[in-house]
Amino acid sequence: MQDVKEFRPTIVAFCCNWCSYAGADLAGSSRLGYPADVKIIRVPCSCRVNPLFILRAFQRGADGVIMAGCHPGDCHYTSGNYFARRRMTLLFSMLDYLGIERERTRVEWISAAEGAKFAKTMNEFVATVTALGENKRLEDLRCKK
């Protein structure tokens, strides 16, 4: 008899328009499911993802943030994901340094042809974040009910 509500994480996925968002579309049209906890935000390129957005998501109650872009070398804008990769490398390292669970953030390169990889990645990520539980270390209590 459980009266505690089952924990469902909130997950924000930043997807680049050209590869990963298309990969998500392919996952959809192939009916490859992943939990509804994942909500996608479309950005032109992974290099558009500002660390501010990721912190903002955690502030507003996200339990996990994932950024997906074109595979290195395949960026629609040639070099965007290379810069994104460096930025996220630093940001994630800093979050880890501050003792924030490193599993709450993730970067994955998913092409437009990789619908299966998109679904698999999201399933894995949701499982990981669900196991971690609620984001407590980087939360803003005012933003929670």
Partner 1 sequence: MQEMMVKRAVELLENGTVDRVLGWTTGEFAYDMTPAVFRSADDLKNGFVYNDFCAANLSKYLIKECVAGGKILVFLKPCDTYSFNQLIAEHRIKREMIYVIGIACEGKADIDKLKDMGIDGITGITAKDGVYTVATIYGDATVKATDAMAERCLSCKSKKHMAYDELIGEDGDVVADCGRFDMVEKLEAMTPDERYEFWRGELSRCIRCNACRNVCPACSCEKCIFDNPGSGVSQKAAVNSFEENMFHIIRAFHVAGRCTDCGECTRVCPQNIPLHLLNRKFIKDINAFWGEYQAGENPDAKPPLGRYEKGDREPGEFGGVQA
Partner 2 sequence: MQRIGVFVCHCGTNIAATVDVKAVVEALSHEPGVVFATDYQYMCSESGQTLMREAIREHKLGGVVVCSCSPRMHEATFRKAAAKEGLNPYMVEIANIREQVSWIHKDIKEGTEKAIILGRAAIAKVHLNQPLQAGESPVTKRALVIGGGIAGIQTALDIAEAGFEVDIVEKEPTIGGKMAQIDKTFPTLDCAACILTPKMVDVAQHEKIKIFSYSEIESVKGFVGNFRVAIRRKARYVDEDKCTGCGICTEKCPQKKVPNEFNMGFDTRRAVYIPFAQAVPKVATIDANYCTMLKTGKCGVCAKFCGVGAIDYKQQDQIVEREYGAIVAATGFNPLKPTQYDELGYATCADVVTSLELERLMNAAGPTAGTLLRPSDKKHPHTIVFVQCVGSRCDAENEKGKPYCSKICCMYTAKHAMLIRDKYPDTEVYVFYIDVRTPGKNFDEFYRRAVEQYGVHYIKGQVGKVVEENGTLKVQASDLLSGEQLHIDADLVVLATAVEPDKSARGIATMLTASMDTNDFFTEAHAKLRPVESPTAGIFLSGVCQGPKDIPETVSQASAAAAKVIGLLAKDKLTCNPCVAQSDELLCNGCSSCERVCPYGAITYSDKEFRGPNRTTLIRRVASVNPAVCQGCGACTVACPSGAMDLKGFSNRQIMAEVDAICKM
Residues that bind partner 1 (CB under 8 A): 51-52, 55-56, 58-59, 72-73, 79, 82-83, 85-102, 105-107, 137-142
Give the C-alpha separation, 63 to 61, whole Å.
6
Contact partner, 133, from partner 1, partner 2, none, Cβ < 5-8 Å per class: none
DSSP 77-132: TSSHHHHHHHHHHHHHHHHHHTT--GGGEEEEE--TT-HHHHHHHHHHHHHHHHHH
Nearer Cβ to partner 2 (39/137): 39
From 47-55, 92-100, 101-109, 124-132, give the range in contact with partner 2 by CB under 8 A.
47-55
Q: Give the torsion sign (CA, 140, 11, 69, 99).
A: positive
Shortest CB 28 distance to partner 1, Å: 26
Site for partner 2 (CB under 8 A): which residue of 4, 5, 20, 36?
A: 36
Q: How many CB atoms lie within 10 A of CB 130?
A: 17
Site for partner 2 (CB under 8 A): which residue of 7, 19, 20, 49?
A: 49
Residue 34 interacting with partner 2 (CB under 8 A): yes
Question: Coil, strand or helix: which one is 138?
Answer: coil
Question: Coil, strand or helix: which one is 65?
Answer: strand
Site for partner 2 (CB under 8 A): which residue of 66, 68, 119, 129?
A: 119
